């Protein structure tokens, strides 16, 4: 599977999780976040595999084990995506890549469950 498709699969799974969240008082926050993650998944799937952000994610070890793992900080960034207006898919992936690079500088990655 292409690395760009691994990123897209991960983002689609996160979108599904947001859709499944039932929070009476969220005023549509989870729905907006899910839509933003679906948009990001489409964006990621269409990226050129040689795109600098994909290369940065690969160099940081995000594709170990045949799946995309953004690490703990990257996962938190993805979970919060959609909460900030104007935080489009390119900014999301840049933020995740930066987080993965920071984590890679501080030691070995552990695969999240």
Mean pLDDT in residue range 10-22: 91
CB 61 within 8 A of CB 72: no
Rounded Cα distance between 104 and 109, Å, is 7
pLDDT of residue 113: 39
Rounded Cα distance between 63 and 85, Å, is 29
Is the model's pLDDT at 7 over the cut of 80?
A: yes
Mean pLDDT in residue range 7-23: 91
pLDDT digits (tens, 9 = 90+) for 51-77: 999 999 999 999 988 999 999 999 999
């Amino acid at each position: 599977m292409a690395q760009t498709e691994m990123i897209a699969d991960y983002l689609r799974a996160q979108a599904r999780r947001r859709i499944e969240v039932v929070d009476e008082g969220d005023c549509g926050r989870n729905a907006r976040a899910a839509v933003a993650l679906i948009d990001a998944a489409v964006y990621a799937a269409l990226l050129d595999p040689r795109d600098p952000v994909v290369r940065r994610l690969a160099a940081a070890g995000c594709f170990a084990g045949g799946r995309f793992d953004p690490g703990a900080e990257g996962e938190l960034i993805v979970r919060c995506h959609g909460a900030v207006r104007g935080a489009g898919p390119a900014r999301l992936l840049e933020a995740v890549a930066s987080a993965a690079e920071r984590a890679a500088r501080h030691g070995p990655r552990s695969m999240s469950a």
